[in-house]
């Protein structure tokens, strides 16, 4: 049959890989959006002070951990309270409205993987949409191809957004900083009083290793 011939020629492999990537993207979306991003729990307060000086020795010693004015837990260094999630989040990056969840210490690496897979799916889908277009200057051609044109335009816009988001996050990760710290550097006490512009930066390789591994 035609299906068997296509399978023998390997023509079914690419659609299968594309479907698997889409499925992987959907599963990653739900995983990142539903998992604990690193909520600070009251029972974890004990021993927080001791761990800070080991991780970031460049921070002045007179900066003390403070209690959150909303949930009253002692905030570890780099944590921030999210008023939408009603929790303090460890190594808080940002609250993502598309995920309806914070991006923090626990789900940030998976968030990067999700963006990468999503970008591959979008670029592949854009290639498929573009390959299905053949251009003619006629109203009838426009009527028959309007769906493909709109699809390609939407895919192109989403691809640019995801690409910019992924590149910006990879840059911040390579510097060992977060979106919140980058945007609010002048308002964060442990950054404002530090002698270094970024006291967490330990070099590109070590920053990437500690983030992903």
pLDDT, one tens digit per residue, over 93-109 is: 999 999 999 999 999 99
Token pair 């460049």: residue: 58
pLDDT, one tens digit per residue, over 149-183 is: 888 889 999 999 999 999 999 999 999 999 999 99
Does the structure show a pLDDT above 60 at 58? no
C-alpha angle with apex 99: 98 to 104, nearest 5 degrees? 125
Reading phi first (left if > 0) and then psi (alpha if -120 to 50, else beta), residue 163 is in alpha
pTM of the predicted protein model: 0.83
> Annotated catalytic residue: which of 85, 96, 102, 175?
96
Mean pLDDT on 46-62: 50
Does the structure show a pLDDT above 90 at 56? no
Domain ranges of the chain: 1-34+106-175
pLDDT, one tens digit per residue, over 186-201 is: 888 888 877 788 889 9
The Cα 61–Cα 190 span in angstroms is: 10
pLDDT, one tens digit per residue, over 1-22 is: 555 555 555 567 888 899 999 9
Has 96 been annotated as catalytic? Answer: yes
With H, G, I as helix, E, B as strand and everything else as coil, classify residue 211. Answer: helix
Beta-bridged to residue 67, according to DSSP, are: 74
Contact 77, 194 (CB under 8 A): no
The Cα 155–Cα 129 span in angstroms is: 9
Among the listed residues 117, 94, 91, 90, the one whose alpha carbon sits nearest the alpha carbon of residue 207: 91
Quote the pLDDT of residue 187: 87
């Amino acid at each position: 049959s035609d299906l068997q011939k296509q399978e023998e020629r390997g023509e079914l492999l690419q659609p299968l890989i594309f479907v698997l990537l889409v499925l992987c993207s959907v599963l990653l979306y739900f995983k990142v959006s539903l998992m604990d991003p690193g909520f600070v729990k009251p029972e974890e307060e004990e021993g927080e002070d001791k761990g800070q000086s080991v991780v970031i020795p460049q921070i002045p010693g007179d900066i003390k951990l403070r209690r959150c004015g909303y949930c009253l837990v002692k905030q570890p260094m780099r944590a921030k309270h999210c008023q939408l999630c009603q929790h303090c989040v460890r190594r808080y990056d940002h609250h993502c409205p598309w995920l309806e969840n914070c991006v923090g210490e626990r789900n940030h690496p998976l968030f990067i993987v999700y963006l990468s897979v999503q970008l591959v799916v979008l670029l592949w889908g854009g290639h498929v949409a573009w390959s299905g277009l053949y251009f003619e200057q006629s109203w009838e051609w426009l009527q028959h191809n309007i769906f493909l044109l709109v699809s390609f335009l939407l895919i192109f816009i989403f691809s640019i957004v995801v690409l910019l988001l992924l590149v910006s996050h990879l840059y911040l990760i390579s510097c060992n900083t977060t979106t919140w710290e980058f945007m609010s550097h002048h308002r964060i006490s442990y950054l404002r009083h530090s002698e270094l512009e970024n006291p967490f930066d330990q070099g590109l390789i070590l920053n990437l290793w500690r983030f992903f591994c």
